[in-house]
Amino acid sequence: MTVPFVDLKAQYQSIKEDIDKSIASVIEETAFVGGKYVTAFEESFAAMYGVKHCIGVANGTDSLYILMKMLGIGAGDEVITVANSWISSSETITQTGAKPVFVDMDPEYYSIDEKQLEDKITANTKAIIPVHLQGQMCEMDTILAIAEKHNIPVIEDCAQSHFSLYKGKKAGTMGIAGSFSFYPGKNLGAYGDAGAIITNDDTLAERCRLYSRHGAAIKHKHVMEGINSRLDSLQAAILSAKLPNILKWTEQRQANAKYYDSILAGITQVITPKVRPETSHTYHLYVVRVERRDGLIAFLKERGIETAIHYPTPLPFLPAYAYLGHQRHHFPVSHEYMNQILSLPMYPELTKEMMDYTAASIKEFYAR
C-alpha cells in the first residue's frame, strides 16, 4: 500500500464535473482578470464568515504583507509572531521594513505561547500576528486582551485554519483582519496560488483593495502606488466550486484525526495532538511528536508512507534570520520539538485502511 502525504487528485475526482464546468466558463467568457468570478467568490467567502469584506489577493503571503502595509507598518516598527511557522509569517514583516519579533511555541498546543507575548511588546510594536498553525486555534482571549491593553492590532494568519473555531468564533474574525491562503494543499485549495483578506473594518478593506490593485479602484485613477496582487479569476471560479464542500471536508479531517488518535493511543513513543479546550481544530496537519523521528521517517518511507515536518527549522534559527542573533535557549520549546514533530498523512479522502497501515508500520518500527 502507498499512502501519499496529500492526495489532491482524489478530491478533484470527487468534484470533477463542477470544477471542469467552472474552468470552461471562465475561458469561454474570457473573464481572466477581475470580474464576476472574483466578486462571486469574495461574496460567498465573506458570507460564510459573516464578515463585511473579503478581498481576494494573489496568495496568502501577499495578504499578510498588504494588511501590514495598509496598517501603516514600516521601518522602525516591530511585529510579533511565532517561532514555529512558515516563513511567510515573518518575511512579510521584513518586507514592510519592520523587524520580526518571535515568541516561542506553546509546548502543549504548538501555537504561539501567549504567556510570553506581553514580554515581547515594546514601544515600537505595531502588530501581533498569531498563526493558527495546523488548524489549531491560538489562545485568542488572552492575545486580544494584551493587544487591546497596548492598543496593538491583531492580524490572524489563517492560512492553515479555514473554519477553525475558538469559543464558537471563526478564525480570522476576532482580530482586525484574517489572512488566508488557498495554496493547493491548504484545507481550501485552489489549483495555483490564491489568497484572501477578511475584515469588518471598512477603511482597512478599502485600502487593501486599492493597494492590491495598483492603487486604483477605477482604471488609470491611481490614488496611491500599490502592487499587483489580484485573485486570479480561474482560481476564484475553482474556489467557488469547492466552497460548498469545505465543511464536509473539515468534518472528514476531524473524523480522521479522531481515528488516528484512537489507533495511535497505545504507542508510548508517539504523542498525539492535543486540542485546545472550547475550540474546533480543523487538522490542516496532524502533527505527532515521536522518538527517533528521522529513523521512523525513513522506515515509513520504505513502506510507502509519506510524511513531512512542519517545520524542520524554527524561523529564528533559519540562516535568513542569523542577523538577529537568536540562540536556542531563547526558544527552548521550538528548539526541542524541531527534532520530534512529524506530520502524518492527513486529508479528507484518507481511508481507515491507510491510517491502520500507518499505525501498524509505526508500531512495527518501535517493536524492532
Ligand X SMILES: *Cc1c(COP(=O)(O)O)cnc(C)c1O
Q: Tell me: does residue 89 bind ligand X (CB under 6 A).
A: yes
**CA distance to 93, 177, 263, 276, per residue, from 125 (Å):** 12, 17, 45, 27
Closer to ligand X at the Cβ: 195 or 226? Answer: 195
> Binder to ligand X among 131, 238, 270, 315 (CB under 6 A)?
131
Sole window of 23-31, 56-64, 235-243, 274-282 interacting with ligand X (rule: CB under 6 A)? 56-64
State the minimum distance, in angstroms, from the CB of residue 70 to ligand X: 17
If we measure between CA atoms, which residue out of 361, 353, 252 comes closest to residue 307? 361
Residue ranges in 308-347 that form contacts with ligand X under rule CB under 6 A? none
Q: Tell me: does residue 193 bind ligand X (CB under 6 A).
A: yes
> Binder to ligand X among 37, 86, 249, 260 (CB under 6 A)?
86
User: Is the separation of the CB atoms in 130 and 138 below 8 Å?
Assistant: yes
Q: Which three cell numbers stand for residue 111?
A: 501555537
Rg value, the chain, Cα: 21
Sole window of 23-31, 82-90, 137-145, 301-309 interacting with ligand X (rule: CB under 6 A)? 82-90
Q: How many positions of this chain bind ligand X (CB under 6 A)?
A: 15
CA 197-166-271 angle, 5° bins? 110
> Binder to ligand X among 81, 85, 111, 282 (CB under 6 A)?
85
| Residue nearest to ligand X as judged by C-beta position | 60
Closer to ligand X at the Cβ: 37 or 183? Answer: 183
> Binder to ligand X among 56, 60, 153, 226 (CB under 6 A)?
60
State the minimum distance, in angstroms, from the CB of residue 303 to ligand X: 28
State the minimum distance, in angstroms, from the CB of residue 110 to ligand X: 12
Report d(CA 314, CA 8) in Å as an integer.
27
Report d(CA 114, CA 130) in Å as an integer.
9
Report d(CA 272, CA 269) in Å as an integer.
10
Other Cβ atoms within 10 Å of 360 Cβ, number: 12
Q: Tell me: does residue 286 bind ligand X (CB under 6 A).
A: no
Q: Counting Cβ atoms within 10 Å, is residue 185 exposed (0-12), middle (13-18) or buried (19+)?
A: middle
Binding site for ligand X (CB under 6 A): 59-61, 85-86, 88-89, 131, 157, 159-160, 181, 183, 193, 195
